[in-house]
Amino acid sequence: MLGVNLFTLSLWFFQEGEAQIGFDPVTMWRAMAWPARSVVIVLFIMSCWSIGVMIDRWIAFSAARKQSRLFAPAVAGALKDGKIDEAISIAEQNKRSHLAKVVTAGLQEFQAHQASAEISGETIESSKRALERASAIVHAELKRGVSSLATTGSTAPFVGLFGTVLGIINAFKGIAGAKSTGLAAVAGGISEALVTTAVGLFVAVPAVWAYNYFAGKIESFDVEMDNSSSELIDYFIKRSSRGKK
């Protein structure tokens, strides 16, 4: 009977303390000290930035993929018929395609040096360098902002941990001020610690997922650009061989 009474008393004490403290977001925010609030604000800014990068890269990658699917067969048909001007025009109509940006640079460089029917090796080498430069530029454009997702994913847990340390310090201050070790004395500081830790993980996990996803996409885009550059150089070499005959 005594054990049951003690258990009932402990349960009542916990429920009473919980009712006084309140663990909803608004109440916890009001109970936080400004150092812990500052940590939450920093994490909120990091979250907004990472979400903005995710949306921006998703739109850019989707447009690049969509236009490249239309561009590749169209420019292949134009080059098959030897219509370089038409191929350049098709590429300029698909400016958001990563393949179009690279192919345009190579075709324009090739066209600028095509003074006769016979194509020199220097012209091909010049077109190859133009393709390499364009690929590097497009790679940098595709990667824009993605590295910040990795930074957010790696630092957000530590920012949350810093808030946890501040919450524990606040909890000890509560114990010292109240001269008591009861639930009410430590609950405020512990809640700060839990909130900042949870928010840090909430910000970090999606950022890491998004970084890995976009890194894989960029790698596949790089392979496609390299393949397109190689095929275009092969086309120039074959055209040069036909011109010498």
> Residues 192, 222: contact at Cβ < 8 Å?
no
**69-73: average pLDDT:** 88
> Residues 155, 203: contact at Cβ < 8 Å?
no
Question: How many H-runs (helices) and E-runs (strands) does the chain carry?
Answer: 8, 0
Burial class (CB in 10 A: 0-12, 13-18, 19+), 150: middle
pLDDT at residue 173 greater than cutoff 90:
no
For 8, the token pair is 């009932």
For residue 19, name the pLDDT band (cuts at 50, 70, 90). very low
116-171: per-residue pLDDT in tens?
445 566 777 888 888 889 999 999 999 999 999 999 999 999 999 888 888 787 77
- In whole angstroms, give the CA distance from residue 221 to residue 65: 9
**220-232: average pLDDT:** 91
191-203: per-residue pLDDT in tens?
667 788 888 999 9
> Residues 90, 73: contact at Cβ < 8 Å?
no
Burial class (CB in 10 A: 0-12, 13-18, 19+), 225: buried
For 226, the token pair is 């390299």
- In whole angstroms, give the CA distance from residue 22 to residue 11: 16
**94-114: average pLDDT:** 84
Domain-wise residue ranges, the chain? 34-244
- Round the average pLDDT of the chain to a whole number and report it: 79
pTM score above 0.85: no
With tokens 């810093």, the residue in question is 162
